[in-house]
Structure 1
């Protein structure tokens, strides 16, 4: 009876580990989509609403879920302190909240380059920089979806099969 209970626990824990490992792939694609929506909202706020950057970031933080909302909320907070430039505020917010996301180094570089141009140009140049960042994120999203379709199912199966292997070895 104890062997069966132990075998079930091993199988459940390894399967769960496989699902957790696979979750990072789906989280990355979901967060990339949310980030694209956030940048499109920022563009709309700047171009059509003529909303100040601090208020636009606050509004975006309320619209999007999860760790990306913390990025825009922190950006708004640092801007509200008024002691740093827009570029420095973006870098601070990005570096403080990056560990919470499932995004990779490529996205960090895109967002970092985007932050360098944020608040530096007129509205139409800023719109072009947002469009450029969106194009780069589109490419990163395509790569993330490709990786997700290739590896997500494999990791889930691998977790289950590793559990079965351990059960066979221990029996």
Structure 2
């Protein structure tokens, strides 16, 4: 009876591990899509609302996913209180503080962080083009990741099941 219970625990632990790794892999892809959505919102505020960049960042902070809201709110607050600092410096410092721990995929983080270097000092049209360029870079990364994520998810699930069954067989 104890062997059966232990075997079931090992099998369920292996399955749980495999599915947790697959979910984390899927989350990486979803974060890229969420960042892209955030940039579309920023572009819309600038293009159609004719909103200055600091106000646009503050407006979209309430419309984006919760994990990015602290970053956007802090950028907007810093822009209001530290008007002598450049947008790029504020964007990059805040990204280092708030986004580095949140974003799983380093390439998405770098793309988003680098966008701040060019967007802050340009006119409206160039800001829109910079955001579009960043969205295209994200699209490229998402496209490259899609097949890999699907394969990795299947692999992690299969490995979780296979290894747990193997461990049970070895232990019995």
TM-score of the two chains, using structure 1 as the length reference: 0.91
C-alpha displacement at 1:44, in angstroms? 1.1
| Conserved? CA contact 1:25–1:147, under 8 Å | no
Shift of 1:101: 2.0
Match of 1:141 in 2: 142
Match of residue 85 from structure 1? 86
Asked if 2 retains the 8 angstrom alpha-carbon contact of 1:38 and 1:60, the reply is yes
Q: Which residue of 1 aligns with 2:102?
A: 100
Per-residue CA shift, 1:55-103, capped at 9, x if unaligned? 322222221224233332332233233263211111122112221222x
Gaps (5+ residues) in structure 1?
A: none
Report what 2:155 is aligned to: 154
Once the 2 structures are TM-superposed, how far is the Cα of residue 145 of structure 1 from its aligned partner? 0.9
Report the counterpart of residue 19 of structure 1 in structure 2. Answer: 19
Total equivalences in the alignment: 170
Query: Are residue 55 (structure 1) and residue 60 (structure 2) matched?
Result: no
Structure 2 CA distance for aligned equivalents of residues 60 and 2 of structure 1: 55
Shift in CA distance, 127/164, structure 1 to aligned 2, threshold 3 Å = same
Displacement of 1:122 in angstroms is: 0.6
Query: TM-score, normalised on structure 2?
Result: 0.90
Structure 1: 4+ residue segments shifted above 3 A = none
Given that 1:75 and 1:92 are in contact with CA atoms closer than 8 Å, whether structure 2 keeps it comes out as: no
Aligned alpha-carbon RMSD (Å): 1.6
Q: Tell me, what secondary structure is at the counterpart of 2:62?
A: helix
Distance 1:81 1:162 in 2: 55
